[in-house]
Amino acid sequence: MRRKAAVAQGRDAGTVTLEMVAEAAGVSASTVSRILNGTAAVSQLKRQSVDDAIARLGFVPNPVARGLAGGRTLSVGVITQSIDSPFYGTAMRGIEEALDPAGYSPLFVSGHWNAAEESRCIDVLRSRRVDGIIVLTGRLSDQALRSYAKSLPVVVTGRSLKAPGLVALNFDNFEGARLATRHLIELGHRHIAFIAGDPLHPDATQRQRGYQAALEEAGLSYDPQLVAPGLYQEDSGLSAVEALLRTRRRFTAIFAANDQMARGAALGLHRRGLRVPTDISLVGFDDLPASRYALPPLSTVRHPAQDIGRLAAQAMLDLLRGVKPAVQSPAPEIVVRESCAPPAR
Amino acid sequence: MRRKAAVAQGRDAGTVTLEMVAEAAGVSASTVSRILNGTAAVSQLKRQSVDDAIARLGFVPNPVARGLAGGRTLSVGVITQSIDSPFYGTAMRGIEEALDPAGYSPLFVSGHWNAAEESRCIDVLRSRRVDGIIVLTGRLSDQALRSYAKSLPVVVTGRSLKAPGLVALNFDNFEGARLATRHLIELGHRHIAFIAGDPLHPDATQRQRGYQAALEEAGLSYDPQLVAPGLYQEDSGLSAVEALLRTRRRFTAIFAANDQMARGAALGLHRRGLRVPTDISLVGFDDLPASRYALPPLSTVRHPAQDIGRLAAQAMLDLLRGVKPAVQSPAPEIVVRESCAPPAR
DNA sequence: TTGTATGCGTTATCAT
DNA sequence: ATGATAACGCATACAA
């Protein structure tokens, strides 16, 4: 056991306990706890002396003990998919921002786009007694999510489903993709290629449907030869362009299902001596921070990761407070930069 | 208090305690604990029945209680500067990778390049009973770090300092910058501009010294007019180029103190109709994942964030095991891509 | 080798 | 309104 000495010698290396505060203030531990949590009314007098003692000793409650004792830990678990993702990284930042002023702290774990791993993450988070869990997209089944929500508040992004104790925050990928495609059409493009995202992601298929819908409503034919498979990573964008070029099909614009692939596509085009937007127009999706500094700056669909993170965290806070969360998903909008132009030929 | 019922009904929502295991196996709780931690020798027989009971009940130890009881929590705190940084994100991934097989999990908190905030982070991590702390660079004083290391193993990157219980993992920024500059010189450049990093970062000033050293050893004069201030962000790279161009000083190459500023610089050059590398050669520093897909792909100094994260985590693991960590910082090397060419004029 | 008792810092229950 | 006291789930001296 660690030495227990050093009662009132101010910060013995951060081990000032609630009990010490109680002693210093001449009250019981329960009273201190009550003041800390606002659990019950206490006399002004005692409150004063307790507050003093807290300040004097530099007491800071121990969240671990708090969690053990059955109370809240003031922490919410966040399952991201990879800790170094440009998109989810921004979302995490939004979560941090919203949680902090409320006194909560996030606990980040990575699921690596793997349902089994995500399950383990949930276990880890639960064992750490988090008060709630935010799941950024992921591969967990709606079923599983619903079940988790029975014992713990859950907020999930990238889906729409309803369940008690669960709030889903979806983004209109379909509409976003339609906007992007329509933008190209309005510029005069008639042959628009599409680089698809990982088919395992629901948002990827939604984006593809948006692309098709825009084509249809413009009376343009959908040519399967003009859609190349991709995996949401830069390299797959590059290979997609190569595949597209190999078909020798004519196209004057490319819509990539995300910015990362658009980057890869830009490089592929460059390698073949094709200029953006002079020869080929290019649109992405997500508006990653980096896209504003791409060459040329990339036109894309704004997918406000930071706002989404913030909203998710706010919904969680509401859930925790017991108030009904009123979340409004942000609407997609196109951000026009310099990667698109009317078709040359 | 929560209901205590449901003893052996397997997973009542994840509340199988060590005590239940003990009962089911017909041994005492201490024995179970000992088996779990390898604290003492136990008979094969009991071990067998305990292992069975653990598997049967699906028991998973509660790290919160573990931490409270004074033992390890099998978690290490990681102070990053911003949760969405491309560079530190990669480092965090390396940490995750190295910690996971050892059964440890990281706890990420962001210091936002602010010493006071970092101090608070340390408090938070300590109150959560992490077994050790990894600090990714940051603004804490060496002094403070040393003091923290007295009560907790600390690994810090981006510095060199020695203290008991502390291992520092530095990177040779000076040499890296010298390599980059020398690369330009070897291509024939004589007028090389430099975009400096945030002067508050020690690595930024080291990189600048490396640049000067390379100039000197080549007998080239150092022209203060050719170094533009920057803040390590894309936008400052852009303004730096504009400032450089405004001086009307002649230069045929730019060395930016990091890839993010190099990106911004590339855009600035593009806006002025200057082509990379035909008109101006460009080198960065860090080799961010994105730089391989820049247009043109950026030549840069490899700064292996993931390896650094992994090494830091391994050093922490060694510290925790009580073995002397033998860390070898990775050496900088230049990665030649397509953003450099011999000077045109 | 194994069990018993106690403590970790806090909250919650039950008195008063 | 306030104070004992018992959990929370586990680890660890100490005894056997």
Model confidence pLDDT, tens digit, residues B207-240 = 999 999 999 999 999 999 999 999 999 999 999 9
Q: Which residues neighbour A245 within 8 Å (Cβ) at sequence distance 6 or greater?
A: A268, A272
> Is residue B97 situated within a structural domain?
yes
> Is residue B341 situated within a structural domain?
no
Q: What percent of chain B has pLDDT over 90?
A: 75
For residue B10, name the pLDDT band (cuts at 50, 70, 90): very low
> Is residue B208 situated within a structural domain?
yes
> Is residue B53 situated within a structural domain?
yes
Residues 47-66 of B with CB under 7 A from strand D: 59, 61-62, 65-66
Specify whether A114 is located in the same domain as A209. Answer: no
Q: What percent of chain A has pLDDT over 70?
A: 95
Section A207-234 average pLDDT: 97
> Which residue type sits at A275?
R
For residues A223 and A249, give the distance between their C-alpha atoms in angstroms, rounded to a whole number.
10
Test B267 with A293 for CB contact under 8 angstroms.
yes
pLDDT of A345: 60
Specify whether A261 is located in the same domain as A321. Answer: no
Strand boundaries in chain A, DSSP class E: 75-80, 105-110, 132-136, 154-157, 166-169, 192-195, 227-228, 253-256, 281-283, 300-302, 333-335
* Closest to B289 measured CA to CA, from A94, A301, A235, A232: A235
Q: B258-272 as b/e, with b when 16 or more CB fall inside 10 Å?
A: bbbbbbbbbbbbbee
> Is residue A92 situated within a structural domain?
yes
Backbone angles phi, psi at A337, to 5 degrees: -120, -125
> Is residue A159 situated within a structural domain?
yes
**Final residue before a domain boundary, out of A61, A90, A109:** A61
Specify whether B147 is located in the same domain as B266. Answer: no
Specify whether B259 is located in the same domain as B150. Answer: no
- pTM of the predicted protein model: 0.89
Section B303-320 average pLDDT: 96
Q: Who has greater pLDDT, B18 or A10?
A: B18
* Closest to A20 measured CA to CA, from A11, A12, A8, A30: A8
Helix, strand, coil % (nearest 5) of chain B?
Answer: 45, 15, 40
pLDDT over 80 at A8, yes or no: no
Distance of CA B255 to the CA centre of its chain: 23
Domain range for A264 is 173-302
pLDDT over 80 at A13, yes or no: no
pLDDT of B171: 97
How many domains in chain B? 3
**What tokens were used for A137?**
């997209």
Q: What is the pLDDT of residues A161-174, one digit of tens each?
A: 999 999 999 999 99
Q: Who has greater pLDDT, A193 or A36?
A: A193
For B68, the closest of A68, A73, A107 (CB atoms) is A68
Residue keyed to tokens 């489903």: A161
> Is residue A218 situated within a structural domain?
yes
Q: What is the pLDDT of residues B153-168, one digit of tens each?
A: 999 999 999 999 999 9
pLDDT of A128: 83
pLDDT over 50 at B4, yes or no: no
A134 forms beta bridges with: A78, A155
Specify whether B102 is located in the same domain as B197. Answer: no
Q: What value, to the nearest 5°, has the Cα angle with vertex A141 and ends A135 and A147?
A: 80
**What tokens were used for A261?**
């692939």
pLDDT of B12: 37
Nucleotides of D under 7 A from a protein CB: 1-5, 7-13
Specify whether A292 is located in the same domain as A320. Answer: no
Task: Tally A–B CB contacts below 8 A.
Answer: 111
> Is residue B337 situated within a structural domain?
no
CA of B321 to C1' of C3 (A): 29
pLDDT over 50 at B17, yes or no: yes
Q: Which residues neighbour A91 within 8 Å (Cβ) at sequence distance 6 or greater?
A: A80, A136, A157, A305, A306, A308, A309, A312
Q: Who has greater pLDDT, A323 or A217?
A: A217
**Final residue before a domain boundary, out of A11, A33, A61:** A61
Q: What percent of chain A has pLDDT over 90?
A: 77
Specify whether B116 is located in the same domain as B153. Answer: yes
Specify whether A179 is located in the same domain as A242. Answer: yes
Specify whether B121 is located in the same domain as B100. Answer: yes
Q: Which CATH number fits the domain that encloses residue B38?
A: 1.10.260.40
Specify whether A21 is located in the same domain as A121. Answer: no
Specify whether A91 is located in the same domain as A154. Answer: yes
* Closest to B196 measured CA to CA, from B165, B238, B240, B154: B240
Test A96 with B105 for CB contact under 8 angstroms.
no
* Closest to A55 measured CA to CA, from A21, A17, A102, A9: A21
Q: Which residues of the protein have their beta carbon within 7 Å of strand C?
A: A 1-2, 4, 15, 17-19, 29-30, 32-33, 36-37, 39, 59, 61-62, 65-66, 68-71; B 1, 27-31, 34, 40-43, 45-46, 65, 68-70
A42 touches strand D (CB under 7 A): yes
Q: Which CATH number fits the domain that encloses residue B178?
A: 3.40.50.2300
Judge whether B91 and B295 are in contact, CB under 8 Å.
no
Specify whether A84 is located in the same domain as A196. Answer: no
Residues 17-46 of B with CB under 7 A from strand D: 17-19, 29-30, 33-34, 36-37, 39
